Amino acid sequence: MHSNISLVIPTYNCLESLKLLIDALIKQSLKPSEVFVVDSSPDNRIQSYVNSLNIEFPVTFIRSKKNYPGEKRNEGAEAASSEWLAFLDVGTIPRELWLQTNFTMAQEYGLDIIFGSTQYQALNQFQMLLRAATYGSIAHETTPGTLVKTKTFIQSGGFIEGIRAGDDQEWRLQLRDISKKYKTPGITTLDYSSLPSSILPMQKKYFIYYLHGAKVRAQRRVRDIYLSALLVFASLIIVKWNYLIGGWDSNPFFIPNITKIYLLSIMIFLLSYITLRSFFKSSDLFNIFHFFSKLFLFFIALFTVYFWNFYVADWEVDSLYFIPHITKIYIASILIASFLYRGIFLPLRLGIENNFLFPKNWMIIGCIGLSLDLIKVPGILLGILLSPFQKNLSNA
């Protein structure tokens, strides 16, 4: 059974993975009407393989000079002639009912977009630990596996050019702005089995993703950058307010305890904001202002703790408010809390079984998670700093 669906697959030096993907497509209960393999490999192996195929649906090879998957998806979409577009990556293998499930759902509910639903598979012990620290055993919404009306894709402007990572999530957010007729299947329809086999490749992947993702959002979400900058600027001004106005308590604009009042107020505000945002989950998994809010809150708390004994206890060791080694206790508490969150709470929320976490795997998983968080922060900050030097995004 065929459909009115064009499928686009970006490739680069991945012949064996492409063969597995084509085999999975042959087994689909609903076949695509045409497939476009958009390849930028330096050799002709993939081209020769595609040209040698003799299967029940046409597979067309497109030679691309583009570097990134999103750019290649755009090229494939331009060549497509069907009412619907579907996207797959070579590392993401569709289950037999993938296309049938998405197409049936679109017809039954009158939808314009059905996102991919991917479960990450682990083939060895390290990948099991890595999966527990990142994706877990639940299905995730993904660009691979997504089915979208061609006219809706055109309205979205396609994938952002010149971005190696983060463009797929940005594209899904753009689709949501264009049409409210979208859904993600309640079942897993694809499997990803190419998790890194060591921590360094995963750290590199995280760094690159957040580096490029921050560039995208820094250029498209200027408001969030301004809000974050205003937060920092206001802090610098307010804590120095009484000094800047001069005259101290003789000045009518003098505000007693302004630093304490401000720090307490901003801590309450940021905590409330972060708590409320956690209840009202956003499809935007990375928001610049949210990132800066958490980072800023951490440093405000650190500043408060660092000067606690000076301002509150006046360095009186016998004072009820004096806390020995308070800064060390604060840092240790943050690390322990993060470790427990990354090693136990998050994996459980992502569907990892208790018997895998305990008695000792949770400690390894916690270390992996913390290392990824640490690499994420410089990636985001560097991406934001580099964004003004990036050429304007073609779809902005």
Residue 396 has pLDDT above 50, yes or no: no
What sign does the dihedral 94-95-96-97 (CA atoms) show?
Answer: negative
HSE (side-chain half, CA atoms, 13 Å) at 239: 13
pLDDT of residue 394: 46
**Whole-number Å distance between alpha carbons of 70 and 197:** 25
At 374, list the tokens.
Answer: 């640490």
The 10s digit of each residue's pLDDT in 346-360 is: 999 999 999 999 999
Backbone angles phi, psi at 80, to 5 degrees: -70, 155
The 10s digit of each residue's pLDDT in 295-322 is: 888 888 888 888 888 777 777 887 888 8
pLDDT of residue 250: 81
Using pLDDT thresholds of 50, 70 and 90, give the confidence band for residue 395: very low
* Architecture of the domain defined by 5-195: Alpha-Beta Complex (3.90)
Helix orientation angle between 222-238 and 199-220, rounded to the nearest 10 degrees: 90
Using pLDDT thresholds of 50, 70 and 90, give the confidence band for residue 220: low
At 2, list the tokens.
Answer: 């065929």
When pLDDT is averaged across residues 52-69 and rounded to a whole number, the result is: 93
**Whole-number Å distance between alpha carbons of 179 and 113:** 8
The 10s digit of each residue's pLDDT in 158-214 is: 998 887 777 888 899 889 989 999 999 999 999 999 898 888 888 888 888 888 777
Instruction: Give 175's contacts (C-beta < 8 A, 6+ positions apart).
Output: 113, 148, 152, 156, 182
Letter for the amino acid at 299?
F
pLDDT of residue 168: 85
**Whole-number Å distance between alpha carbons of 308 and 326:** 8
When pLDDT is averaged across residues 251-277 and rounded to a whole number, the result is: 81
Q: Percentage of residues in the chain with pLDDT exceeding 70?
A: 91
**Whole-number Å distance between alpha carbons of 366 and 371:** 9
Contact of 249 with 256, CB cutoff 8 Å: yes
When pLDDT is averaged across residues 144-158 and rounded to a whole number, the result is: 95
Write down the mean pLDDT value for the chain. Answer: 87
The 10s digit of each residue's pLDDT in 18-31 is: 999 999 999 999 99
pTM over 0.95: no
Contact of 164 with 109, CB cutoff 8 Å: no
Chain-centroid distance, C-alpha 217? 11
Residue 115 has pLDDT above 80, yes or no: yes
The 10s digit of each residue's pLDDT in 233-257 is: 777 788 778 877 777 778 888 888 8
259 vs 135, higher pLDDT: 135
**Whole-number Å distance between alpha carbons of 387 and 54:** 46
Letter for the amino acid at 206?
Y
Q: What ranges do the domains of the chain cover? A: 5-195, 219-389
43 CB neighbour count, 10 Å cutoff: 10
Residue 218 has pLDDT above 60, yes or no: no
Residue 52 has pLDDT above 70, yes or no: yes
pLDDT of residue 219: 54
Using pLDDT thresholds of 50, 70 and 90, give the confidence band for residue 53: very high
